[in-house]
Amino acid sequence: MKMTGTSVPVGALRTKKSFGIGEFLDIIPFADFCRKASLKVIQLLPVNDTGTESSPYSALSASALHPIYISLESLPELRQEELDTAHKKIISEIKKLKKKYNELPRFPYKEIRRVKDDLLRQIYELDSDSIKKSPELKKWIKENPWVKEYAVYKRLKNINFEASWKSWKDYKKIKAEDIEELWSKTELQKEHLFFAWVQMNLERQFTQASEYVTKQGIMLKGDIPIMMNEDSHDAWAHPDFFNDDLRAGSPPDGPNPCGQNWGFPTYNWKALKKCDYSWWRERLKQAAKFYQLFRIDHILGFFRIWAVPKRECTALLGHTEPYEPVTVKELEELGFTKERIRWLSLPHVPTNLVEAANNGDYLGSHGILNTIMDRIGQEELWLFKPEIKSDSDIYAHEEIPLAVREVLAKKWRDRMFIEVEKDKYYPAWSYSDTTAWLSLSDNEKRIVSQFITEKRDDMENAWEKQARELLGMITDTTTMTACAEDLGANIRSLKSVLNDLSIMSLKVIRWNRQWEKEGQPFFAFDQYPEKSVTTTSVHDSSTLRLWWTEEPDAQDFFKTFPPEEGSDIKPGKYSPEAAEYLLEKAAQSQSIFCIHPIQDFLGLAAAYYDEKPQNERINIPGSVTDFNWTYRLPLPIETLIKDTTLTKKITAIAVIHDGKLKNKRS
């Protein structure tokens, strides 16, 4: 059975009762809107606590929900029949603040987080005696033992002014028994129970919303980020589950020539396997309380993660985990001496390169080079000193002019083979762009290329083996339907593994092209695999409106799937008719699910267009601003649900995809 749905961040939901940001209970009226528009799936962005970070993909906890999504007025402590003056005063303050924040076009994340936390503490202080005695809270804590770690961590983080646990003076390193001891201290009980009380109420409200959605015949789809913030309570309490000396990212590609370094520690899968992946199983158990489907973020990372040394600023010197090492013995068998292996694996800096960046000062350049490099004999060639471990070590030498540091940092990354472990190497992702590669003879290039290709084949086998074990564990643990975010570099076994494990792939219509063929033609919609999710946009991309008006590949789509003859629809000009044309085309997909961002559905009504299309975006990758992740619906849900023209248009799109009616434009 095919289903059409929409994706939306919880914080984007706007109702007349909102606190300037969407809350879990706002999902209830949104479900009413979706039901009226014949949408059968609501997909949410991650909802875990992210602390001071607005990005939902930078979680401080794998289990704890974000307190910013709590409805204060719905707390039992404010819904008693008779309220005293103190409680009434809090309700009055809530109403005043709601009016203030609800008028804003986007929500001020940090301010609302701070204000809500302050109000939660006021409510808790008034009722802490009864809360401490609550049998419901005691029972909930017993059923959710993770909350002890989280509460102890949050209290310590607060007294350290929210600084990373890595900078704490005390309890930087901690054992399970230490956490239990801190949790059990009588003088700390009140503070610890505050965090448990908040989490219990968050779960209650989210459960209420989830159950309502299900009763409307709608499925709720969650999102589980693959990585955890290095400052998370999980990385603090379970350091053995993470490789703190490596950071996850992605290898170089067209838009990112230096790759991406996300700053999250990679997993120690060996340690996780020893406890039968209990930590991951608990994450899935928590998610299954609310969702029927879930998105597996960056599923390629379960095959192989791109691991970058901790202090590297870029991701160029990363490697895949797992990887098949290139050994010294193998390189020698290829005909390379130890001196040439050094040339291939270590950056060699010529004096004149630095001299050119240092105003032609030969002696001054020698003085600079001597600070962080060793000269090779009497040659005008230098190697970095052993204490230089990363490009950030180069940048740390502020006595060196910035222009020279930039040159040296670029040269630091100029190596054909990267030493991952002693005498074990990984071919640099862009090895054919390096100085060492260009110095090889044509025959040597042929031999090395063939050798690297054979290594890649071995790694492909290792990646498939790991993916089948990890993703098999995930699909065996839960009854939720798994949907992959499988965008990015191609992995040979990706399609077969997803198909065998019944994991849905992701098809973004603008990127679903046959990239290896001349002209890179789009796949026809009747060629989309059944086990997939079709979407017009994602949270990191431009909206459908922005793509159609500003991005050149929209012209390719237009030529491949032309609108009906006589239509004035064309790229560069957006209108409800253009939105209808694009959404109807997507609805022809053979995918089981068509799930489009709410902004793309709102494009069916010009009245909801922002004057600046850029304002309709959720996130702009590569930027860190107060704009990102703070999108709100342009109007309250109560208003949208009354727009019968809009809901009928969405219904017509859903009907096409669900197979009950042929596309009138086909």
Residue-wise pLDDT for 167-192, tens only, equals 999 999 999 999 999 999 999 999 99
Which neighbouring-strand residues pair with 484? 296
Tokens of 46: 């991650």
Q: What is the per-residue pLDDT for 660? A: 53
Tokens of 77: 């402590």
Averaged pLDDT for residues 655-664: 68
CA-nearest of 443, 412, 448, 458 to 427 is 448
The crossing angle, in degrees rounded to 10, of helices 186-215 and 146-159 is: 120
What 3-state DSSP class applies to 221?
A: strand
The model's pTM = 0.94
- Cα–Cα dist 479/272, whole Å: 22
Reported as a single tens digit per residue, the pLDDT across 411-432 is 999 999 999 999 999 999 999 9
Question: What are the backbone angles phi and psi of residue 188, rounded to the nearest 5°?
Answer: -105, -5
- Cα–Cα dist 236/239, whole Å: 6
Match 């993703």 to its residue by tokens. Answer: 471
- Cα–Cα dist 430/378, whole Å: 31
Tokens of 262: 């996300």
Percent of the chain with pLDDT over 70: 99
Reported as a single tens digit per residue, the pLDDT across 284-341 is 999 999 999 999 999 999 999 999 999 999 999 999 999 999 999 999 999 999 999 9
Rg (CA), the chain: 28
Reported as a single tens digit per residue, the pLDDT across 31-63 is 999 999 999 999 999 999 999 999 999 999 999
Q: What's the CA dihedral at 179, 180, 185, 188 to 10 degrees?
A: 50
- Cα–Cα dist 361/404, whole Å: 12
Q: How many CB atoms lie within 10 A of CB 288?
A: 15
Averaged pLDDT for residues 234-257: 93
User: CA 388 → CA 214, 307, 312, 483, 574, distances in Å?
Assistant: 57, 19, 11, 43, 53
Reported as a single tens digit per residue, the pLDDT across 53-95 is 999 999 999 999 999 999 999 999 999 888 999 999 999 999 9
Q: What is the per-residue pLDDT for 662? A: 43
- Cα–Cα dist 327/49, whole Å: 43
- Cα–Cα dist 173/85, whole Å: 45
Reported as a single tens digit per residue, the pLDDT across 584-634 is 999 999 999 999 999 999 999 999 999 999 999 999 998 889 999 999 999
User: How many Å from the N-terminal Cα to the C-terminal Cα in the chain?
Assistant: 22
Give yes or no for residue 488 having a pLDDT over 90. no
- Cα–Cα dist 647/635, whole Å: 15
Match 């005909």 to its residue by tokens. Answer: 335
Averaged pLDDT for residues 379-396: 97
Q: Residue 508, Cα to own-chain centre: how many angstroms?
A: 17
Averaged pLDDT for residues 558-578: 94
Question: What are the backbone angles phi and psi of residue 116, rounded to the nearest 5°?
Answer: -65, -40
- Cα–Cα dist 233/42, whole Å: 29
Q: What is the per-residue pLDDT for 664? A: 41
